[in-house]
Chains A and B, each alone.
Chain A
Amino acid sequence: MDLTLIVVLVIALALFFDFTNGFHDTANAMATPIATGAMKPKVAVTVAAVLNLVGAFLSTEVAKTVSGGIIREGDGGVQISPEMIFAGLIGAVVWNMITWLRGLPSSSSHALFGGLIGAAVVGAGVSSVDFSVVLSKVVLPALLAPLIAGLVGYTATRLAYTITRRRDDKSERGGFRYGQIFTSSLVALAHGTNDAQKTMGVITLTLIASGALGAGSGPPLWVVVVCAFAIALGTYTGGWRIIQTMGGGLTEVKPTQGFAAEASTTATVLASSHLGFALSTTQVASGSIIGAGLGRRGSKIQWSTAGKIVAAWFITLPASAAVGAVAALIATLGTPGLVVDAVVGVVVIGGIFLLSRRRPHEQGAAMEVDVAATSVLSRRRARRLEKRGRIDTPASGVEAPFVRLDEAAPTVAPRGTLSGGTRPDKEENR
């Protein structure tokens, strides 16, 4: 067996996984600031990319195991071969591309776990997988993360609206935009320190398995550098489809909600990573946004979108496991199998990319930048007009389809005709 070929393939694929991880997770940090106009889309992804790059260099510790205990590896367990890592990465990358095409935020680590499980089942049998760890590390957290983040996001949003409630119809909630810049930057930095490290771990463990590095050694500098740049480049590319889903597909996000949601995401992610109960950042971020949506009276949650996202979380593991298993099966043919795997993988990834270009009416990558930029511009323009007393709220046009049927539509009435008093829908429009 050609050990150098497989090592090169694993490194290349791991870096591509790192890249997909970056653009998959830009949305966690930057979807709400982009949606509220706190940062322009290009500025937001640039800030996120730089913070991911910095974060990757700050993470010093690299995981001792590839799968984090899901596969019984190491002493007395199975040896995870480079072929299994390769097949697992194919599963993870393909699933990341599919969810990106559909604009669904899903956990990249879960995709990697799934791919490895599939590869391990084929390579070493079902007994090599510790299903109780799968339950406690993947399945239950996927249920709990959105619940806890939703509760935190809801509470934070209600508090923010209660504290800034005013009797005169003037709102200064635009000030929450500045706060969003800080909270979302923290999420991006945390992402860099956590996720680049996973790829560094995969590459380092592969190098150790191939004998290029001594057992127990840390990642060489070049591994750190390329992983950092791969995740930063992916982040900069921006998964606009996922940003759209999280920034506007779940619920229309106002600055107050955006700030509350990002603060909840930051608090929950930091608490979970430092108090010993790991939660997926993607799932926490989605939960916070839903919670923030529930917290503003008069806002609507698109539950069908939320349902699709949750369904994707639960399919992630088995789906990437299936792809990983098939890839591992082909890889058992030896070097020709690896080449077939690599070629098929490239074709599938290229095909998904082409598919994303062929449906620009849905969410073409280039178009989305324009759409996002225009929406920011038009909000600004709308605010300017609002100050001159021409129209009443920046988002009246957006709001219109979601006006509640049980109330007269207050958002379309010109501001001048509204008498004082409290009007929740109106009051909380920012």
Chain B
Amino acid sequence: MIDWSAFVVVALVSLFSAAALVSLYSLGLRLLTLEGRSTARAAAGYACFVVCALGVLYGIYLIVPGLHG
């Protein structure tokens, strides 16, 4: 029958990873488009995008079987 524990794990992991990625990207956008932007804000904004990029790279790592055996 159906593996409910695996289902719950998948649901939670999807929820948190999608929420984290979208929040970071939104935050990055927000920081970079605020009125009166400062260097610190811009740096924080770009840092958000860098973390998003790492998330995308992790996605590629998961997709390509050769990378994780």
Contact = CB atoms under 8 A, between A and B. Distances in A.
Interface stretch (A86-94, A157-165, A347-355): A157-165
Contacts of B14: 148-149, 152, 264, 267-268, 271-272
B63 A193 contact: yes
A163 B27 contact: yes
Interface in A152-203: 152-153, 155-157, 159-160, 163-164, 168, 172-173, 175-176, 179, 182-183, 186, 189-190, 193
Contact of A267 (B3, B21, B35, B60): B21
A270 B65 CA distance: 12
B19 interface: yes
B18 A275 contact: no
A193 B64 contact: yes
B44 interface: no
Nearest to A288: B18
A276 B64 CA distance: 17
A274 B17 contact: no
A144 interface: yes
B38 interface: no
Given A152-B15, A275-B10, A270 B23 contact: no
Interface stretch (A12-20, A37-45, A54-62, A226-234): A54-62
Contact of A151 (B3, B9, B15, B33): B15
A179 B52 contact: yes
Interface residues of B, number: 34
Contact of B3 (A156, A163, A276): A276
> Which DSSP category, helix, strand, loop or mixed, fits chain B's interface?
helix
A157 B65 CA distance: 30
B15 A155 contact: yes
A91 to B, nearest CB: 25
A264 B30 CA distance: 20
Interface of B: 1-3, 6-7, 9-11, 13-15, 17-19, 21-23, 25-27, 29-30, 32-33, 35, 52, 56, 59-60, 62-66
Given A160-B26, A263-B18, A267-B21, 5 more contacts: A135-B1, A148-B7, A186-B59, A193-B63, A264-B14
10 contacts: A132-B1, A159-B26, A163-B30, A172-B32, A176-B25, A183-B21, A183-B56, A268-B18, A272-B14, A275-B6
Interface of A: 55, 58-61, 132, 135-136, 140, 144, 148-149, 151-153, 155-157, 159-160, 163-164, 168, 172-173, 175-176, 179, 182-183, 186, 189-190, 193, 259-260, 263-264, 266-268, 270-272, 274-277, 279
